[in-house]
Structure 1
Amino acid sequence: MHVPDGFINAPVSAVAGVAAVGAVAVALRGARRELDERTAPLAGLVAAFIFAVQMLNFPVAAGTSGHLLGGALAAILVGPYTGVLCVSVVLLMQGVLFADGGLTALGVNITVMAVVTTVVAYAVFRGLATVLPRGRRSLTAAAFTAALLSVPAAAAAFTVLYAVGGTTDVPIGKVATAMIGVHVLIGIGEAAITALTVGAVVAVRPDLVHGARGLTAPLKLRVGDALIDAPAAHEPAPAAARSSHRKLWAAGLVTSLVLAGFVSFYASTNPDGLEKVAHDKGIDRKEEEHAAKDSPFFDYGVEGITNTRLSGGLAGVIGVGVTVAAGTGVFWAVRRRRAQDPDPAQAAAVTEPAESS
């Protein structure tokens, strides 16, 4: 659903850009409360994984494909504020390096693909978590539903922006019907990927999953005819936890590299939902040439390499590497900023005037 330059006029694109900057600023502040020394590297990995999986377009209808948006996945794994930052990093890397999504439309893309998907998905997820029984199955079901609904919500958000600032005269009702209809189908794929990924991480390290905190049912012991809560399990030793964390991070990075560098060659070549609707309805009549068209990685290839498989695979590997480096750098910086912030209780104690004796 990467919106190219020329679909939305300059004034609306500018307003969306301001909104995106504001949302990222709020996310940077909120992410300080979500990130610690364990989750900061995980957040960078989540961004790289989203980049990799977005290269895997899957067929959803005749002549149409879809790909992961990633807002729901990021919000559940690392928190909603950090999730907005994860998807924003991915969109920035894609726009600058691979000319995927317009640069003047970057604010539109962040608003639609990062902010709307994350906010809607996390709201749905937390709402379901309060009514469903606590446990891994309920967690996975909530993740599936949240991801499913986040995709048509993003399509509806694009439709609203197009209704206000579209550059072509197309009946908005037809745009809304086509966009939401096809993205409901794409949402099924998004939901399956999100549920499988969240379930896999919860199975090995539930303590690292932001959305799983407080949602796992306590172990019960039968004493006579009554069930009582079992004593809380001791946390793993710091050395064991660090080793497990490194293994999870390494496994996630290898998976991302394999998906982007090898599996992406077998992805569907059909246009995605927005591209298909834009072509069928005439939205793309005023599409503009991308400002990064001279990038050596234009359109997910490497300039000078004629072998299509090698070129695309190498571009995917480079993309994963750049995204994990950029994302991890951003999240560590946010984490360090949190560590430098004074403790509110201590600050209050320092500023409170001493009582007179």
Structure 2
Amino acid sequence: MHVPDGFIDAPTSAATGVLAATAVAVSLRGARRELDERTAPLAGLVAAFIFAVQMLNFPVAAGTSGHLLGGALAAILVGPYTGVLCVSVVLLMQGILFADGGLTALGVNITDMAIVTTVVGYAAFRVLVRVLPRGRRSITAASFVAALLSVPAASVAFTFLYAVGGTTDVSIGKVATAMIGVHVLIGIGEAAITALTVGAVIAVRPDLVHGARGLEQRLKLRVNGALVDVPAPDGPRTASDGARTALVAARTSRRALWITGLATSLLLAGFVSFYASSNPDGLEKVARDQGIDRTTEEHASADSPLADYGVKDVENARLSGGLAGVIGVGVTVVAGSAVFWTARRRRTPGAPPTAPASPTSTSAV
């Protein structure tokens, strides 16, 4: 759903740019409360993972494909404020390096794909977590529904923006019907990817999932046959030998999760992406069918050596796309990690990360 230059007029693009900049500034402040030394590295990884999975267009219907938007996934894993930043970093990298999503439309894309999906997805998730029975399965189920709702919500937001500042004389009713219809189908794919990812992380380290905070007992690790509470980050100064061992094991587990996640992202972007659907995504198909794309402008980064997710002068399509994907993952994880570590360092000393209140509880063992 990357909106190119020319779809939305200048005043509307400028207004969404101001909205996006404000949301990013607010999110930077909010992320300071959400991030700590455990979750800051995970946030950079989440951005890289979203970049990688967005390269995997999947078929939905009638020559149309879809791809992950990622707002709900990021919000559930690392928090809503950090989630907005994750998707914004991805969109910025895609626009500048890969000519995907117009630069003048960056505010539109951040509003649509980062803000709307994160707010709608996380709000739905929190409501569902409060009403569903206790347990990890409820977290996974809530993730599925939240992601499913976030995608058509983004299509509604685009339709609204096009009604306000569209550059072609196209029936808004037809645009709305086509956009919402196809993005409900795309939402099913988004929901499946989100639920699988959240479920996988919860199975390994539930304490690192922002949406599960307050839902689990204190993390325990088995040390020498006994279950030991993992101490707080300052635990080694006062903890027992068993607790210190558990803390070291927890850090090793986080490192293993990060390495596994990065390797998975590189594999998806560098190899699996070659087999992604080549059909136009939902917005591209609707724009082509409805004539919206008549006003598309050439991208300012069209001459980028990585434009269209290929490396310039590399003739082999598989190698070119794979290299572009690997470069994109690398750049995104570095840029994202820099943003999140900066936000964490600026957090008020001694202020704990936020944990959403919830009356439910699940075991983290």
TM-score (structure 1 length as normaliser):
0.91
Match of 1:253 in 2: 262
In the TM superposition, what is the alpha-carbon distance from 1:62 to its structure 2 partner?
1.3
Distance 1:16 1:321 in 2: 29
Q: What is the number of equivalent residue pairs in this alignment? A: 330
Say whether 1:322 aligns with 2:331: yes
In the TM superposition, what is the alpha-carbon distance from 1:215 to its structure 2 partner?
2.2
In the TM superposition, what is the alpha-carbon distance from 1:68 to its structure 2 partner?
0.1
Residue 229 of structure 2 aligns to a residue whose secondary structure is coil
Counterpart code for 1:298:
A
1:307-341 per-position Cα deviation (integer Å, ceiling 9, x unaligned): 00000000000000000000000000001101xx3
Counterpart code for 1:180:
I
1:198-225 per-position Cα deviation (integer Å, ceiling 9, x unaligned): 0000000000000011224899xxxxxx
Residue 17 of structure 2 aligns to a residue whose secondary structure is helix
Match of 2:148 in 1: 148
Match of 1:60 in 2: 60
Structural mapping, 1:185-264, within 5 Å: 185-216=185-216, 234-235=229-230, 237-264=246-273
1:87-127 per-position Cα deviation (integer Å, ceiling 9, x unaligned): 00000000000000000000000000000000000000000
Residue 65 of structure 2 aligns to a residue whose secondary structure is strand
Residue 169 of structure 1 aligns to a residue whose secondary structure is coil
Residue 65 of structure 1 aligns to a residue whose secondary structure is strand
Counterpart code for 2:29:
R
Please tell me whether the aligned partners of residues 135 and 217 of structure 1 are also in contact (alpha carbons under 8 angstroms): no
Structural mapping, 1:59-78, within 5 Å: 59-78=59-78
Counterpart code for 1:144:
F
Distance 1:261 1:186 in 2: 23
Distance 2:261 2:336 in 1: 14
Residue 215 of structure 1 aligns to a residue whose secondary structure is coil
Counterpart code for 1:96:
I
Match of 1:336 in 2: 345
Counterpart code for 2:100:
D
In the TM superposition, what is the alpha-carbon distance from 1:40 to its structure 2 partner?
0.4
Say whether 1:179 aligns with 2:179: yes
Match of 1:312 in 2: 321
Distance 1:343 1:309 in 2: 49
Unpaired stretches in structure 2, ≥5 consecutive residues: 220-226, 231-242, 352-365
Distance 1:164 1:44 in 2: 35
Counterpart code for 1:234:
D
Match of 1:82 in 2: 82
Match of 1:223 in 2: none
Match of 1:117 in 2: 117
In the TM superposition, what is the alpha-carbon distance from 1:256 to its structure 2 partner?
0.1
Please tell me whether the aligned partners of residues 134 and 217 of structure 1 are also in contact (alpha carbons under 8 angstroms): no
Match of 1:162 in 2: 162
Identical aligned residues as a percent: 81
Distance 2:217 2:266 in 1: 35
Match of 1:296 in 2: 305
Match of 1:128 in 2: 128
Counterpart code for 2:229:
H
In the TM superposition, what is the alpha-carbon distance from 1:55 to its structure 2 partner?
0.1
In the TM superposition, what is the alpha-carbon distance from 1:192 to its structure 2 partner?
0.1
Match of 1:348 in 2: none
Distance 2:26 2:57 in 1: 31
Residue 60 of structure 1 aligns to a residue whose secondary structure is strand
Counterpart code for 1:276:
K
Distance 1:46 1:217 in 2: 24
Distance 1:130 1:156 in 2: 26
In the TM superposition, what is the alpha-carbon distance from 1:342 to its structure 2 partner?
5.1
Residue 299 of structure 1 aligns to a residue whose secondary structure is helix
Distance 2:99 2:321 in 1: 14
Please tell me whether the aligned partners of residues 218 and 229 of structure 2 are also in contact (alpha carbons under 8 angstroms): no
Say whether 1:273 aligns with 2:282: yes
Please tell me whether the aligned partners of residues 207 and 216 of structure 2 are also in contact (alpha carbons under 8 angstroms): no
In the TM superposition, what is the alpha-carbon distance from 1:233 to its structure 2 partner?
6.0
Distance 1:185 1:240 in 2: 42
Counterpart code for 2:15:
V
Distance 2:105 2:285 in 1: 18
Residue 307 of structure 2 aligns to a residue whose secondary structure is coil
Distance 1:306 1:286 in 2: 31
